Structure 1
Amino acid sequence: MSASAWAQAADQPEADDSLIDQDAFDALDHMAQYLQTLTSFEVKSDVTTEVVLEGGQKVQFGGALDLKVHRPDAFKIVAASDTRTREMYYDGKLFTIYAPVLGYYADFAAPPTIGLTLDKARTEYDIEIPLADLFTWGTDQTIRARIKEALVIRPEHIGNRTCMHYAFRQEKVDWQLWLEESDKPLPCKIIITSRVDPAMPQYTAVLHWDTAMNIPASTLAFTPPATAKRITIAEAAGQKGDDQ
């Protein structure tokens, strides 16, 4: 399941205001405003993905994400697990996806900003960028319209951080968000639950931030290894289910 699954565009009925806690929406706005002030940051995340087997049993797979971002025009994302590893790069001109174990990479000409590039990757090439909403909170106003229920749960601890727990519901997904209770309202943890599958598999990410890091855009560009082979982006999309 994609970490940005809740942000897929869809026409849905209007929310019942009685199911919306305005404090939960205000927290999202506060988080979005802060995230948009960050021009350079790194996020490391421990990730758990659930997969439903044919018999209905759920199994979990662990992994890790490392995101380095220079706004508005560069990022590098490494998504690594025991089943496969993918690296994604954006340098203001090209988006590149690279499978280091297989030794293949593919790219497409990209728009001049991160947000537009994420949209092109998803809509034209069916490529979901892990935790893409970290880049677009506050700029995609349709996210708010798709939320049907919003709750404030309680403050909880994620490691040594005190984070407020929120729960949201959309037409096809439920998602939970923990926001750090400080002058830096950063996401501490995200859980996305699919409501399309009766088994309701989940995607969980625990996030660790470094907002003081200065990351030059030039350090995030992709340089293909000498042994790497370039293929077309259509071939890359066709390999999404392959191991490694």
Structure 2
Amino acid sequence: MHAKFLALALSAASLLITQVHAQNAASAPSTAGSPNAASAVDPAAVQALTTMGSYLQSMKRFSVSTELTGERVLQDGQKLQHTATAHLDVDRPQAIRAVMQSARTKRELFYNGETVSLYFPAQNYYSTVPFAGDLASLVEQLRIRFGIEIPLADLFIWGTPNAPTEQFQSAMYAGQDFVGADICDHYAFRQKGVDWQVWIMAGAKPLPRKLVITRLDDDARPQSTSTINWATKPAFMRTVFTFKPPASAKKVDIVPVAAGKEYS
């Protein structure tokens, strides 16, 4: 019973950050302002994703945090907003600690290159399973095997072969905006079932600073907005990636989404 609770809670409580697999860049396309820009794929906008993705993949050690505002649509069409936060410490290729929190729950994920641990402080439950692979593999296997989405998972997918760009129905440059104190290039994309926008820092560090996702498979068009903050010279130590359960914590088995599948 505890195992089922943990698996369901992890799946249901995951931050609603849709995995729109794409890649990024910082160059502004020449078709900005064109009346037809939103009806076709602008190669410069796609190249912006590629450049951003390559820069993300070059980063080995960083901390990143996000505040997410999402929408839940009631049966009568009324929208309710909810918020959640996440903080990730990353040391590539095989170490991550993620702390995810909302008003309803807090959960923590640890990976040190040998084991993955998931911990719910309020319930004082945890699960630990063996795993060996890079962070992109971890993201994929947690999603496939357990239905668990790591917050900001696209950061580990952008810039890899798992982030295709041929699925876009439209891609455009929308000008420049500030996100916090950073001037950013704003891009908008459409693909099957979703519209999404990304604000990428202009200049030598093309980091994503804001992401907006709008679902098209719901007439109410629910939307989520994530503001992303970066620390490119973090002070964490390697020990943060190894989970040490409290003496009173109860270990439970996490239930796979589909039986018979093993980590590859």
TM-score (structure 1 length as normaliser):
0.87
SS in 1 for 2:44: helix
Query: What is the Cα deviation at residue 214 of structure 1?
Result: 4.8
Q: Where does 1:70-81 land on structure 2 (aligned, <5 Å)?
A: 70-81=91-102
* Equivalence for 2:33: none
Is 1:3 the counterpart of 2:17 in the alignment? Answer: yes
1:44 corresponds, among 61, 65, 72, to 65
What is the CA deviation profile of residues 153-212 of structure 1, one whole-angstrom value per residue up to 9, with x for unaligned ones?
A: 010011111011111111121111000012000111011111222212112110110111
- Matched-pair contact (CA < 8 Å) for 2:19–2:154: no
2:122 corresponds, among 101, 111, 116, to 101
Mapped to 2, the partners of 1:50 and 1:107 lie a distance apart of: 32
- Matched-pair contact (CA < 8 Å) for 1:41–1:215: no
* Equivalence for 1:12: none
Mapped to 2, the partners of 1:112 and 1:188 lie a distance apart of: 27
Query: What is the Cα deviation at residue 137 of structure 1?
Result: 1.1
Unpaired segments ≥5 residues, structure 2: 1-14, 23-38, 258-264
1:33 corresponds, among 42, 54, 61, to 54
Percent identical residues: 36
- Matched-pair contact (CA < 8 Å) for 2:21–2:162: no
Mapped to 1, the partners of 2:238 and 2:250 lie a distance apart of: 24
Mapped to 1, the partners of 2:166 and 2:251 lie a distance apart of: 40
SS in 1 for 2:97: strand
Q: 211-220 or 182-191, which moves further after superposition?
A: 211-220
Q: For the structure 1 residues 233 and 140, does the alpha-carbon distance in structure 2 shift closer, same or farther, using more than 3 Å as the test?
A: farther
Is 1:144 the counterpart of 2:150 in the alignment? Answer: no
1:196 corresponds, among 184, 197, 217, to 217
Q: Where does 1:45-60 land on structure 2 (aligned, <5 Å)?
A: 45-60=66-81
* Equivalence for 2:205: 184
* Equivalence for 2:195: 174
Unpaired segments ≥5 residues, structure 1: 9-17, 238-244
* Equivalence for 2:231: 210
What is the CA deviation profile of residues 31-54 of structure 1, one whole-angstrom value per residue up to 9, with x for unaligned ones?
A: 111111111000121211111123
- Matched-pair contact (CA < 8 Å) for 1:118–1:132: yes
Find runs of 4+ consecutive structure 1 residues off by over 4 angstroms: none
- Matched-pair contact (CA < 8 Å) for 2:21–2:158: no
Is 1:115 the counterpart of 2:136 in the alignment? Answer: yes
Query: What is the Cα deviation at residue 142 of structure 1?
Result: 4.3
Query: What is the Cα deviation at residue 70 of structure 1?
Result: 0.5
Q: For the structure 1 residues 35 and 142, does the alpha-carbon distance in structure 2 shift closer, same or farther, using more than 3 Å as the test?
A: closer
SS in 2 for 1:162: strand
Mapped to 1, the partners of 2:110 and 2:168 lie a distance apart of: 30
* Equivalence for 1:225: 246
Mapped to 2, the partners of 1:121 and 1:134 lie a distance apart of: 15
Note the aligned Cα RMSD (angstroms).
Answer: 2.0
- Matched-pair contact (CA < 8 Å) for 1:45–1:64: yes
Is 1:127 the counterpart of 2:148 in the alignment? Answer: yes
Mapped to 1, the partners of 2:95 and 2:146 lie a distance apart of: 19
- Matched-pair contact (CA < 8 Å) for 2:174–2:187: yes
- Matched-pair contact (CA < 8 Å) for 1:174–1:193: yes
Q: For the structure 1 residues 96 and 4, does the alpha-carbon distance in structure 2 shift closer, same or farther, using more than 3 Å as the test?
A: farther
Larger radius of gyration: 2
SS in 2 for 1:219: helix
Is 1:162 the counterpart of 2:191 in the alignment? Answer: no
- Matched-pair contact (CA < 8 Å) for 2:187–2:197: yes
- Matched-pair contact (CA < 8 Å) for 1:87–1:98: yes
Query: What is the Cα deviation at residue 107 of structure 1?
Result: 2.9
1:69 corresponds, among 65, 76, 90, to 90
Query: What is the Cα deviation at residue 108 of structure 1?
Result: 2.5
Query: What is the Cα deviation at residue 216 of structure 1?
Result: 4.0
State how many pairs are aligned.
Answer: 228
